[in-house]
Structure 1
Amino acid sequence: MRNFTLTAAAALVLPGFAMAQDAVQIDGSSTVYPVSEAFAEEFQIATGNRVVVGVSGTGGGFKKFCRGETSFSGASRPIKTSEAELCAENGIEFIELPVAMDALAVIANPENTWASCMTVEELKKAYEPEAQGKIDNWSQLNPEFPDHGLTLFGAGTDSGTYDYFTFAIVGEEGASRGDFTATEDDNITIQGVSTDVDAIGFLGLAYLEENRSRVKAVEISYQGGDCVAPTVEAAGDGSYQPLTRPLFIYANKAHLDEKPEVLAYAKFMFDPEHAQELVSETGYLALPKEAFVLAEEKIDARKTGSFFDGGSKIGVSVADLLAAN
């Protein structure tokens, strides 16, 4: 159990909601799930309010969110134009709240001795649509790799991790071969790669950190640069590219106005007195305290809309996220 102290203002408000019958509803990204789960656990302990956290993937979460079924949606990429339009059609105004930086990791079996580092071009050759039915051997990615069959895992198509990986590696969001094992459950990717010496996969950094005894990280070389491993530090200093990305919580503006327990939870999540520590405990790079202060101000002002113009961007920094708030 984590120990955090609520701010004086929150402490005066939250106990009044302890007997609320309606649970706070959150859904969305499996990558953001550890963050949502950590906040939900502490909020329930502090207030007695129930918080229900689902995992439908970023895309699946936005479908529910934009129908007004949930108050918050975790996302491992910015909201798409089509999703924002669905929200608008249903009268849903949203507040975009960056919560952490993540390094999307490529993983291999610990007994894989040849792919300690891969280039973006090699990964593209493995996962691009043109690879389907054609690229099935490690030697096809690089003649120095062995003549071994190639097994591929990765995030499912409803996942923001899938969207960002295809955008950053293949060059087009949603473009990939269709014959790899795609799953919304990152534990399936861990299991598959850990039991097959010829397998690789991609997932969020937190799942790598939890399973470093079972799989190993593949370093990435971008635009001819040095090989860089996926770590919290490399995500923070911007050296791990192009697979460093921000993570988000989206909040339903009307629910903040109409449901006091929802507003209380939003304020709890972005309370700078404990938000950094909670996010860090999940294995992600927490944004600086200033970001959580700005997020609280954004919630108070009910500042709606997205900074990202309907899609992901490569190379987004912490400074960019501070400017976005």
Structure 2
Amino acid sequence: MSDSPNRSVSRRSFLTSAGAAGALALAGCTEGPGTGTETGLSGSIRISGSSTVYPVAQAVTEQFRSQNSQVEFNLSRDGSGGGFSNLFCEGNSDFNNASREISSDEEEQCSDNDIEYHEINVATDALTVIVNNDNDFATDLTIDELRQIWRADGATTWQDVNSDWDDEEINRFGAADTSGTFDYFREAVIGEEADHTSDYEPTEQDNTILQGVQQDEYAIGYFGFSYYQSNQDAVTAVSVQTEEADSYVEPTLDNAKSGDYPLARPLFTYPKVSSLAEDHIAEFARFFVRQSANSDLIADQIGYVPKTEEEMQSELDALNEVISNA
């Protein structure tokens, strides 16, 4: 477990304050700040975990390699839970990305294997529900309606949700149960009184969700806002209303930043403390934190809400304290 203070930041307080895929060995480099300036660092870094955080990690690793060509990365999309249970908490990766906080079971698994970790908030996501562009009746949904659609033993047809809607079967595409996106959606939408339906197409690949909804007029899906931002013409994003709110709120970076969008959530990476004793890993962790406040990268290129400079500095201070004791 982390030995730094303030690591147990809840989703609410954080927001108010502001398939497994094959491993990808990053052998090439891209242009980035400091290109051409070599630091002399060398070694390898294994990063596992969330497909939602993957585009952030991919962009940051590419920028880091533009300055540190002797550092090799092995980056994979295993899902938050898959990364924790199969790799990170077994001591087989240096970082695990996660689209939700580490669970108590994962904490116990890490502890059993003497794996200490440090939690870093890297961005905020607006988890986005999507429907087909030809769907003209379900573009605004309440949390209760989403719950009916996605809970086990819930609605089978759209008409089951609202008697004015089409009497057509709901076809669902969403995150696999190894995904932090699945865990967050289950907690934020379905709640403790029911389970997530098994009557859907589960995947760690956002493109599979996009294509499934794009090709089916009566389909619905969910994934991180970043992938929607890159494919806005292909599908329609659903505006969401909570039980407490009077209006439907669309998923945008501004609405996620303000906390008005009900499915906004923090994103994380977890470095292993023992790995931070290696210079190239410690420097990469610092670089990752600094890039979390890079608005051009996090917001414009990827599609998440970046950290403020103050939040970033707070994360960096906490990380440096852990590194000094690693």
Unpaired segments of 5 or more residues in structure 2? 1-29
The answer to whether 1:61 aligns with 2:83 is yes
Question: 2:210 aligned with 1:194, yes or no?
Answer: no
What SS is found at the alignment partner of 1:26? strand
Partner of 2:47: 26
For 2:135 and 2:211, how far apart are their aligned partners in 1?
15
How many residues in Structure 1 have an aligned counterpart in Structure 2? 290
Matches within 5 A, 1:21-100: 22-48=43-69, 49-63=71-85, 64-100=87-123
Q: Name the counterpart of 2:39.
A: 15
What's the offset of the Cα at 1:101? 0.5
Q: Which of residues 119, 132, 141 in structure 1 aligns to 2:161?
A: 141
- Aligned counterpart for 1:267 among listed residues 269, 286, 310: 286
CA distance in 1, matches of 2:49, 2:191: 24
Summarize deviations over 1:169-189 as a string: whole Å, max 9, x none: 110399211111111111100
Greater shift, 189-198 or 274-283, is seen at 274-283
Matched, 1:249 2:241: no
1:202 positional shift: 0.7
TM-score normalised according to structure 2 size: 0.85
What value does the CA root-mean-square deviation take over the aligned residues? 1.9
Tell me if structure 1 keeps the 8 A contact 2:127–2:265.
yes
The answer to whether the Cα contact below 8 Å between 1:163 and 1:173 also exists between their aligned partners in 2 is: no
8 Å CA contact 1:163–1:174 kept in 2: the answer is no
Does residue 125 of the first structure (1) align with residue 125 of the second (2)?
no
After alignment, is 143-152 or 78-87 more displaced? Answer: 143-152
- Equivalent position of 1:229 in the other structure: 250
Contact 2:127 2:223 in 1 (8 A): yes
Question: Where does structure 1 differ by over 3 angstroms across 4 or more consecutive aligned residues?
Answer: 272-277
Distance 2:283 2:223 in 1: 31
CA separation of 1:274 and 1:140: change in aligned 2, threshold 3 A: closer
Q: Is the 8 A contact 2:143 2:241 kept in 1?
A: yes
Do structure 1's residue 104 and structure 2's residue 127 form an aligned pair?
A: yes
Which whole-Å CA distance do the structure 1 matches of 2:302 and 2:222 have between them?
A: 18
From the superposition, tell whether residues 52 and 291 of structure 1 become closer, same or farther in structure 2 (CA, over 3 Å).
Answer: same
What TM-score do you get using the length of structure 1 for normalisation? 0.85
Counting aligned pairs with the same residue, the percent is: 34
CA displacement at 1:278 relative to structure 2:
2.4
* In structure 1, C-alpha distance between the alignment counterparts of 2:237 and 2:249, rounded to whole Å: 10
- Over residues 104-137 of structure 1, what are the superposed CA-to-partner deviations in whole Å (9 max), with x where a residue is unaligned? 0000001111111011111111111122xxx321
Query: In the aligned structure 2, how far is the partner of 1:158 from the partner of 1:288?
Result: 30
Cα offset, 1:227, TM superposition: 0.7
Compute the displacement of 1:271 (Å): 2.2
